[in-house]
């Protein structure tokens, strides 16, 4: 059941040009007169009473500017589904807003809540004032009109994308590749998620566009490295056997060299030690002779007193002990030297020239074989790496093509979805059309918008009369969606020549030169 709001009586006191005015509403209400007579003020009064705004939804102050006043007051008696309600707003002598519901003072919050029980502000103003709808941001306009318009289902869009002719029955439609791809992908993601995944600077398409040249470059580099290796295949197993056999011979020769080297080093070490001990023994002999020839002191070195026999004897014994000690140490060094000489005499230096030459020859034989083995192993590795790189390059290219295909599918989907949505919205209107999307050439994409058009012209390009007609048609659509019926105020009606069709009360404002304000009402 529709909710019906009817205006019964409007009372204005010091409201713009109206010092005092009472208007009783009929079914049809015609305001006429010259400019400045207050026709628009009468039409604006309900908006100010309910919301404190003008018909564009902007804060409004109806205080007179050309005469003295003590307060501004406006009240509206109305009925909702045959139940009467009275709303009033006042600016008192202190400049403060005072609110009344059924002549009982109310707080601003309580007053706002009482109005909200009747209707929402945008809803009322869009139905009451044909021009209000178009003062809102396009997102709000779109929301209001689209609120009860179901978006096309994916199935509907897929069928429309794949339809070969307008007359083709739905059961005969075979999904085209774009639709078939999306029908699978949309089981996991919605259409906007797919767009985010694949588009943009961080999207999969951009990432793959960067990865593909890098993958090509890696494949090319590996192939160049492979091409630089000697051509031809070799028997790796046989080469390893040859290399291992030569390595065993080299190790055997190196073992001999190690033994010979140890003997030669020992001979050299013994020779050094023997020579050193000859020098040490000679130094000891010289030291012995110095002690031997050292005279016995006749007097004390410190005080100069002559030594007695006992002291002299002690000096002689000390000198003898020193000689004995030096002689014994020298004998030990000589004995050790002789033992080393005997060991050195038992050793014979080994000539390793022949072994060294043989090791060099073996290594020269082995090196080409080892090089061939290394080349073959590197060829095997690079061949595998090239194959992997080619596979990665091909996969990257396939993924890139897939991402581009998905983006093309998404664009086709969105274009067809927009087309279907526009068809659904256009079906709401008689003379109006709606543009729901703008095509952005730089990104090859569609951006949402909302533009009412008539005869191919945007609302802003319409004449005053055409704008009134567009507003009335919008109000009719909004009523059908909300089932709320409120009076309709069409100002500047002299510019409109179309049919005035409203669901209930109509209020018009007409400019008539040189005529005072005239209010005519009718119940028809």
> What confidence tens digit (pLDDT) does each residue in 241-291 have?
888 888 888 787 777 777 777 877 887 888 899 899 999 989 999 988 998
Q: How many CA atoms lie within 13 A of 492 on its CB side?
A: 12
Nearest to 460 by CA among 124, 123, 131, 142: 131
- Under DSSP, is residue 58 helix (H, G, I), strand (E, B) or coil? coil
CA 422 to chain centre: 32
d(CA 482, CA 479): 5
**pLDDT of the residue at 299:** 66
**pLDDT of the residue at 301:** 61
**pLDDT of the residue at 259:** 73
d(CA 344, CA 347): 5
Q: pTM score, two decimals?
A: 0.58
Give yes or no for a contact between 45 and 73, defined as CB atoms under 8 angstroms apart. Answer: no
**pLDDT of the residue at 300:** 63
CA 283 to chain centre: 90
Give the DSSP H or E segment for 457: strand 457-458
d(CA 485, CA 40): 21
- Under DSSP, is residue 365 helix (H, G, I), strand (E, B) or coil? helix
Give the DSSP H or E segment for 474: helix 464-482
Distances (CA, A) of 230 to 227, 272, 364, 376: 8, 54, 20, 9
Q: Could you give the strand order of the β-sheet that contains 488-490, starting from the edge strand earlier in sequence?
A: 488-490, 506-511, 28-33, 518-522
Give the DSSP H or E segment for 90: strand 83-91
**pLDDT of the residue at 349:** 66
Instruction: Point out the residues of the chain with pLDDT beneath 50.
Output: none
**pLDDT of the residue at 387:** 94
């Amino acid at each position: 059941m529709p909710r019906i709001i009817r205006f019964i009586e409007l009372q204005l006191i010091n409201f713009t040009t109206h010092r005092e005015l009472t208007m009783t509403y009929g079914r049809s209400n015609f305001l006429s007169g010259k400019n400045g007579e207050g026709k628009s003020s009468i039409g604006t009064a309900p908006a100010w009473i309910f919301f404190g705004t003008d018909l564009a939804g902007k804060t409004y102050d109806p205080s007179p500017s050309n005469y003295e006043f003590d307060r501004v007051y406006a009240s509206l008696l109305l009925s909702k589904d045959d139940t009467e309600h009275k709303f009033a707003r006042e600016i008192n002598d202190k400049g403060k807003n005072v609110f009344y519901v059924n002549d009982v003072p109310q707080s601003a919050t309580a007053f706002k809540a009482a109005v909200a029980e009747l209707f929402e502000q945008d809803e009322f103003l869009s139905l009451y004032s044909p021009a209000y709808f178009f003062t809102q941001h396009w997102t709000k306009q779109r929301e209001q009109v689209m609120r009860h318009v179901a978006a096309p289902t994916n199935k509907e869009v897929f069928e429309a994308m794949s339809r070969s002719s307008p007359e083709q029955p739905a059961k005969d439609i075979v999904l085209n590749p774009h639709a078939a791809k999306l029908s699978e992908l949309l089981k996991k993601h919605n259409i906007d998620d797919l767009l985010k995944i694949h588009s943009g600077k961080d999207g999969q398409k951009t990432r793959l566009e960067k990865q593909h040249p890098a993958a090509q470059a890696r494949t090319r580099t590996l192939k160049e490295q492979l091409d630089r290796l000697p051509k031809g295949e070799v028997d790796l197993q046989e080469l390893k056997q040859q290399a291992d056999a030569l390595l065993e011979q080299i190790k055997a020769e190196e073992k001999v060299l190690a033994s010979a080297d140890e003997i030669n080093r020992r001979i050299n070490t013994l020779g050094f030690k023997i020579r050193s001990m000859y020098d040490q023994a000679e130094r000891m002999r010289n030291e012995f002779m110095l002690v031997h020839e050292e005279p016995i002191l006749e007097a004390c070195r410190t005080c100069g007193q002559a030594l007695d026999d006992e002291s002299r004897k002690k000096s002689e014994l000390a000198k003898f002990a020193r000689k004995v000690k030096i002689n014994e140490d020298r004998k030990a060094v000589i004995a050790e030297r002789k033992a080393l000489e005997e060991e050195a005499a038992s050793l014979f230096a080994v000539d390793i020239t022949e072994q060294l030459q043989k090791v060099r020859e073996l290594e020269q034989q082995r090196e080409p074989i080892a090089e061939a083995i290394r080349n073959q192993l590197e060829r095997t590795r690079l061949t595998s790496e090239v194959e992997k790189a080619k596979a990665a390059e091909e996969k990257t290219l396939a993924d890139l093509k897939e991402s581009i295909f998905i983006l093309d599918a998404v664009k086709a989907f969105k274009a067809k979805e927009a087309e279907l949505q526009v068809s659904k919205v256009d079906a709401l209107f008689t003379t109006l059309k709606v543009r729901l999307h703008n095509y952005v050439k730089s990104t090859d994409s569609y951006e949402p918008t909302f533009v009412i058009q008539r005869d191919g012209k945007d609302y802003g390009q319409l004449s005053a009369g055409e704008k009134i007609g567009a507003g009335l048609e919008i109000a009719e659509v909004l009523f059908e969606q909300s089932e709320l019926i409120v009076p309709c105020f069409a100002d500047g009606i002299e510019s409109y020549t179309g049919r005035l069709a409203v669901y209930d009360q109509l209020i018009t404002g007409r400019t008539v030169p040189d005529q005072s304000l005239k209010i005519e009402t009718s119940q028809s």
